[in-house]
Amino acid sequence: MISIQISNGIAALQIVLLRIEMEIDMERQMTSRAVLLPALLKKALHKVRRTVHQPRVSISGAQTMRLGSAYGGWDFIDGEELHGSTVISCGLGEDASFDVEFAAKYGAQVIILDPTPRAIAHYQAIVDRIARGELVPTTSDPWHPGRYDLTNIRPWQLLLVRKALWIEETSLKFFAPSDPTHVSHSIIDFQNNYQMTGTHIHVSALTIEAICRDHSITKLPLLKLDIEGAEVDVLKHMMLGKVRPSQILVEFDELTRPSKRSTARFFEGHGALLNAGYQLCYRKGANYLYKHVGSSASEKSP
């Protein structure tokens, strides 16, 4: 009799525990949905905005090649003029894969511009490796400076200018990204809705003309711009001057936050390039490749 009561009690306890487990599981699922639903809605809304505000442009097409990592790589047009050349690469962050591979492939000098503290530290780690003769990659970590193959790199091939590219030679505020884990700062503070009031550092800036002057560049076969929203102002300024890179690789960063404003800003820079004799040859996401063909064209925002 006692054993039957004990058995019944254990069975009842097991039922209670099972119900508790089911309730806990249901609560976890509801909590998970509550957490995931806003994120999924945000992602879906971003896709809609990207589709609506995607610039409609003509692309002439060209045979391109790619150097660099999945994150920091760039597509460009191969050519003889790149061999032994000096090119300008604006925006380093913590991924120098394109700069390193380009310098190695073409025996070129890459003048890098970036005043961001973490970018400077990343560059210095690469230079220190070369000085110590540590040329073979020591890690596969995609963000570690030890991942680059430096066996075909000489010290003079990678030169860092610790300044920002802008439309005048001046000192200005460089605004930190909204996510502290991110590296890149911005002159126009587009990551923070253009507030221009947040955390920032003060940096020196110079123009494309000043860079070419300081480094005796009379012919620029390639210019890379990854400058966090400043590219539109820089391109408009440059097209009013005499510097005409054969190729311009540019990320229109504002397009990563799709809006009427970002699209309008894109067409300001895009239109300036077309009017100065450039053709759009390739596009991937917010990265665009232009080649100078010498004749002007026009293309307005729809």
Return the closest-CA partner of residue 185 out of 202, 170, 169. 202
Rounded CA gap, 294 and 244, in Å?
Answer: 10
Q: How many CA atoms lie within 13 A of 138 on its CB side?
A: 10
Residue spans of alpha helices (H) in the chain: 2-53, 97-106, 117-132, 208-214, 231-239, 260-275
Tokens 């494309």 locate to: 208
In this structure, what DSSP letter does residue 194 have? T
Residues 139 and 145 sit within 8 Å (Cβ to Cβ):
no
Rounded CA gap, 187 and 193, in Å?
Answer: 12
Token duo for residue 258: 């799709």
User: What's CA 281's distance to the chain center, in Å?
Assistant: 19
Return the closest-CA partner of residue 283 out of 291, 292, 275. 291
CA distances from residue 141 to 70, 90, 94, 104, 291 in whole angstroms, order as listed: 13, 23, 12, 20, 34
Return the closest-CA partner of residue 162 out of 150, 171, 175. 171
pLDDT in tens, the chain (302 residues): 545 454 555 666 567 556 766 766 666 666 666 666 676 666 666 566 667 778 899 999 899 999 999 999 999 999 999 999 999 999 999 999 999 999 999 999 999 999 999 999 999 999 999 999 999 999 999 889 999 999 999 999 999 999 999 999 999 988 888 887 888 888 887 888 888 888 888 999 999 999 999 999 999 999 999 998 899 999 999 999 999 999 999 999 999 998 999 999 999 999 999 999 999 999 999 999 999 997 544 444 43
Token duo for residue 282: 């390739």
